[in-house]
């Protein structure tokens, strides 16, 4: 699969949609970099994994455009079904079955490293109009409790991310109290 052609199509899927600051093509690129960090011990189909990463942000707008595009590129129904399955498996709330899905799901969780892990919910909270206190509460009640990883390499990284984020949130909360 040609990465440039794939990325161009995936960008087109997102082009006319409401801008999602966390699920653009750069998000897919970060996911693929994270896959490189956790995939050394696994055998997987790179084309399926790459397609799943680039369709990750656009699958919510419908499978049909993706299926039609893959068909036009010569993919058979079995390959298309696997790409769609892996793309859905890459989502936060999924329970992936395939190795490609596990790699993408976990890479979605650990992408960008420790600082980015805490930056993501802070940015989203700001964009959706939450107060800092509301965002901190959301992080404590959701991010620290719902970030499931399936591969041992990812579990170690997510623990590091959680430790860093808890420490950061602790500092942030103490600074908020000092400035009241």
- What pLDDT is recorded for position 37? 95
Q: Average pLDDT of each block of 10 consecutive residues along the chain (180 residues)? A: 94 73 83 97 98 94 95 97 98 94 95 90 91 93 81 94 94 85
Separation CA 130–CA 34 (nearest Å): 29
- What pLDDT is recorded for position 164? 94
Give me the count of residues in the chain: 180
- What pLDDT is recorded for position 19? 58
For the chain, what are the domain ranges? 3-110, 113-178
DSSP 109-134: HHTTHHHHHHHHHHHHHHHTT--HHH
Running DSSP on this structure, what letter comes out for residue 24? S
CA 87 to chain centre: 10
Q: Is 112 exposed, middle or buried (0-12, 13-18, 19+ CB in 10 A)?
A: middle
Q: Which of 172, 180, 88, 95 is nearest to 137 (CA)?
A: 172
- What pLDDT is recorded for position 17? 62
- What pLDDT is recorded for position 178? 78
pLDDT in tens, 144-153: 776 689 999 9
- What pLDDT is recorded for position 41? 97
pLDDT in tens, 44-55: 999 999 999 999
CB-CB neighbours of 116 under 10 Å: 13
φ, ψ for residue 51, nearest 5 deg: -65, -45
């Amino acid at each position: 699969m040609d990465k440039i052609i794939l990325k161009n199509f995936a960008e087109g899927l997102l082009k006319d949609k409401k801008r999602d600051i966390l699920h653009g093509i750069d998000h897919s690129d970060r996911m693929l970099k994270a896959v490189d960090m956790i995939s050394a011990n696994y055998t997987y189909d790179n084309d399926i994994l790459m397609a799943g990463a680039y369709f990750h942000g656009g699958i919510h707008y419908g499978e049909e455009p993706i299926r039609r595009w893959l068909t036009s590129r010569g993919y058979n129904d079995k390959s298309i079904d696997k790409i769609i399955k892996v793309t859905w498996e890459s989502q936060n709330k999924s329970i992936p079955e395939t190795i490609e899905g596990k790699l993408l799901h976990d890479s979605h969780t650990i992408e960008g490293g420790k600082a980015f892990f805490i930056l993501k919910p802070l940015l989203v909270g700001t964009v959706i109009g939450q107060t800092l206190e509301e965002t901190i509460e959301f992080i404590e009640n959701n991010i620290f409790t719902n970030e499931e990883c399936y591969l041992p390499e990812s579990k170690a990284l997510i623990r590091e991310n959680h430790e860093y984020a808890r420490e950061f949130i602790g500092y942030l909360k103490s600074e908020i109290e000092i400035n009241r």
